[in-house]
Amino acid sequence: MSWQIEIARDARKELERLPAQIQIRISKAILALEENPFPHGCKKLKNRDGFRIRVGDYRILYFADTKLKQIAVGVIGHRREVYRD
C-alpha cells in the first residue's frame, strides 16, 4: 500500500516560485515518497519533528505518520532559508 501525500499551502506556493527544472526534480522526489517515505539520504530533523530530503541545494521537510501512512510536506525551500524559524 502506498502512502498518501499532502502538501501544505505555503510549501505549494514556494514550489511554484522555483524555476521549472527544479520544480520537476522536487515533484519527482515528493512523488517517490509515496513508495518509500524514508529514502536513502533522508534525515531526522534535530530540535523538531519530521524528516528532510535533499534535492540539490533545496530541501523538503516533511512529517510521516506511520500508523495512517500519511506524509505531510511542510516546507520546500533553499537550504540557507529552510531551517529558519
Q: Is residue 21 part of a domain?
A: yes
Q: Using a cut of 0.75, tell me whether the model's pTM lies above it.
A: yes
pLDDT at 82: 87
Give the number of domains in the chain.
1
Q: Is residue 84 part of a domain?
A: no
Domain that holds residue 10: 4-78
Write the CATH number for 35: 3.30.2310.20
pLDDT (tens digit, 0 to 9) for every residue of the chain, 85 residues total?
689 999 999 999 999 999 999 999 999 999 999 999 999 999 999 988 999 999 999 999 999 999 999 999 999 999 998 887 6
Q: Is residue 26 part of a domain?
A: yes
* Cell digits of residue 8: 501544505
- The amino acid occupying position 24 is I
